[in-house]
Amino acid sequence: MSDIKYGDILEPEDDETRAENERIVRAGFWHKLTKTAARIPFARDAVAAYYCATDRDTPLGAKVVLYSALAYFIMPADLIPDIFLFVGFTDDLAVLTAALTMIRRNVSDDHYDRADAALTAIRKG
């Protein structure tokens, strides 16, 4: 995992990639999350990141980082395939952790409260 270049993943250079990451997240985040929420220990952070990314008050730079990290989580082709339980999500966790570290002051308690409510609803079915 040391070969991951977080800057390449989290801060894409071109507007087309940035727009595609946002499209991927908006189209596939909840589907991916509902399939994996019970298996990933970072579900709360992922949902809070989603709420932060879609918050109109979040600065554009933070949104770019979050959409990139969440797109990496959603896309089936990543460094370690998600089909490998536990190990398969370690790269996703590393990318999300790096993203949250970069923009931590933008993720609010409200984002986490909304994440908790969403995860409770998902788990209740």
Contact 93, 86 (CB under 8 A): no
pLDDT of residue 1: 42
pLDDT for 2? 45
pTM, entire model: 0.86
Specify whether the CB–CB gap between 43 and 36 falls below 8 A.
yes
Place of tokens 């109109």: 56
Tell me the pLDDT of the chain (125 aa) as tens digits.
445 565 678 888 889 999 999 999 999 999 999 988 888 889 999 999 999 999 999 999 999 999 999 999 998 765 555 455 555 678 888 899 999 999 999 999 999 999 999 999 998 87
For the record, the structure tokens of 42 come out as 């970072």
